[in-house]
Amino acid sequence: MPSSIDYGHGIAAVDSGFVRPMLDAVHLVVEGDRAAVVDTASNESVPHVLAALAERGLPAAQVDWVMLTHVHLDHAGGAGAMMARFPNARLAVHPRGARHMIDPSRLTAATIEVYGAEAARRMYGDIVPVPAGRVVEMPDGATLSLNGRHFEFLDTPGHAGTTPASSTSVPGTSSRATPSGCRIANSSATGARRSSRPPRRCSSIRRPCTRRSTGCLAANPTRST
């Protein structure tokens, strides 16, 4: 099985190794000699991501951003461990999720409540906090740049409550005029609660679809294109 899937436009899905092969992905976005990571999965994903960067000739110091789609631990449990390996990176996360990355104690407690202490530790290991000074909150309409590649964050509540999505365009193009970027869906919810009403989910899907892009960085993207 491939350890990563290249979608073109500098976007690749890296198999995180969470639970089993090809279940849960970390996305890598490369623009020139800089990189961003979208989602982190668990701590076990760190060597896989470092290997994917090395395959592309990029050292860890050239990762500028780690972006979280939401803070459920199968997507964000490795954020602290990964940020510790990326000395120049900042963590982009929904405002309601930021506090849980700085102090993950409530996330850990909620996960233990659902799975039990032994299973939670086996699945996620020790959840490492992210220093507050490296966390950047991304509310609705916020933007960031990766070496000239721009990301816009849209609030799209859905899978985990309060969910921003992001559209991005390749430098020198328009994300509305050409299919040359990607979308990511972010959220802030904690624990394992499931939300929300179907109409809310539908409107969350429609909103990022107003931005044309290369593809969608889905919740479990090794299982879909």
**Tens of pLDDT along 171-220?**
443 333 222 233 444 433 333 333 444 555 556 566 666 655 544 444 44
Count of domains observed in the chain: 1
Residues 6 or more apart whose Cβ sits within 8 Å of residue 179: 212, 213, 214
In whole angstroms, how far apart are CA 10 and each of 33, 122, 152, 182, 202? 11, 33, 17, 10, 29
Residue owning tokens 């039990």: 116
CATH number at residue 124: 3.60.15.10
Kindly report the backbone phi and psi dihedral angles of residue 167, in degrees, each rounded to the nearest multiple of 5, phi listed first.
Answer: -110, 150
**Residue 149 in tokens:** 């590649």
pLDDT at 187: 38
Q: State pLDDT tens for residues 135-162.
A: 999 998 899 999 999 988 877 776 655 4
165, burial (CB in 10 Å: exposed 0-12, middle 13-18, buried 19+):
buried
Predicted local distance difference test score (pLDDT) of residue 220: 44
Cα(42)–Cα(16) distance, integer angstroms = 8
The mean per-residue pLDDT over the stretch 29-55 comes to: 96
* Average pLDDT taken over every residue of the chain: 79
Please give the residue range of the domain that contains residue 208: 4-223
Token pair for 23: 């279940």
* pLDDT digits 0-9 by tens, 87-146: 999 999 999 999 999 999 999 999 999 999 999 999 999 999 999 999 999 998 899 999
